[in-house]
Every structure is written in structure tokens, then in C-alpha cells.
Chain A
């Protein structure tokens, strides 16, 4: 059981720099989610993919943020021109949704990437 893998675990960057995070979902999982979590708060939804298609983006996802999932496997989340307010834990989750109608969805989360913007 390899689980959801995120890289790096920690990232320290200076304001204005670009950063990229990677998420490797559980093999065969067709949905992939990105969340952001700040201290003391629950995770906040950012965006999600079904296979390679990005189906929804939160209003939290400014134009400095971009996510991709080429070929429906791993995903990357890039933040351009980082700001101190971007400091947070970025969580990735994946799930397998097979049948339309009446199916619960169980998300498997990675351990996250902790971003600190100085």
C-alpha cells in the first residue's frame, strides 16, 4: 500500500519566487484533489481532476495558482510569485469513483507539503 505521495514535504521560499509541488495518487485512482490548510483551520478545497480534466476550481485559486494532471496520473500544483499569505500546508488526495449514481467517495490524503514563504 503505497498511499498518496507528496513531494517535497517541506518547502521554504522567498516572497516572489515560484514553487511547484508534486502529488502521486494511488494507482488507478481517477480523481485527484488539492486542498490548502492553514494553522488551526480545516482543509480548504482548491481544485480537483477527474482523470486529466480539471473539473472545478475554487475562488481561492487565484491566477497565480495553476494545477495540472497530465495523462491522468500524477499532478503538479504551481504557485507563481509567492506571497507570505500562501504559507500553508498543501494537501493532495485521491479517490476512485467507478459507478454513476449513489456511490460514496472515500478520499485518501497524502501527508502534505508545508510551504513557508519568507
Chain B
């Protein structure tokens, strides 16, 4: 079972920031928080990951609470092309033999004009 809880759907106006929340209250010390998204008819696409600190890349920002029990993915200026299902996943580091990602149902983000 997925170790994360996300709202099933969210709307966002084009050009505005999209803030996608995720709860992961049972996260362990060696587990990363990953965000992937899946645009219709494509495979999932990596967005960003974090362990303890907030992270930013060209696609998004990731804010992780100090207790690491929740996080927020921020798309600073959402466009229509950001309409997708967004998955928040917690997973051990790649050195473990587990290695796999357990996807939940994600949040369907609809960006509206």
C-alpha cells in the first residue's frame, strides 16, 4: 500500500501557483519524498525529490515540513500543459534492494484557462 495521502483532485488557474499537498506521517529516516507526474497516455515523469531540506529545480519546488510528515509540491506558474496526475511517493534510498516506487492514486490537477 502507498505510504502517502493526497487529495484526489485540484483545480488551478493558468498562471497561478499550484500547491499540491501530501501527507506521509509514517515516513522513515532513510526515505526520500519523490514527486512524479503522468500526463495522459504517457509514462510517469520525475519532477523532484527531497530528504529533509526544501528543494527547487526548473520544474517545481518541494517544501518538506520539519517533522517530515508532510510536503507540498509547488508549480510556481501553472500552464495548461501541467494538467496531469501528480504522485507523491516515499521510498528508501536507491542502495536498498527494495528500490521500487509504490504509487497511490495521486492528485489529478486540472489547470484551467
Chain A residues proximal to chain B, CB less than 8 Å? 4, 31, 33, 35, 40-45, 48, 50, 55-56, 91, 93, 95, 97, 99-112
Contact = CB atoms under 8 A, between A and B. Distances in A.
Interface string B62-96: 00000000000000000000000101000101110
A91 B43 contact: yes
B94 A95 contact: yes
Interface residues of B, number: 29
B38 to A, nearest CB: 8
A109 B45 contact: yes
From DSSP, what is the main secondary structure of chain B's interface residues? loop
A102 B100 contact: no
Interface in B29-77: 30, 32, 34, 36, 41-46, 49, 51
A105 B103 contact: no
B46 A111 contact: no
Nearest to B49: A104
Given A33-B100, A45-B102, A56-B100, A99 B95 contact: yes
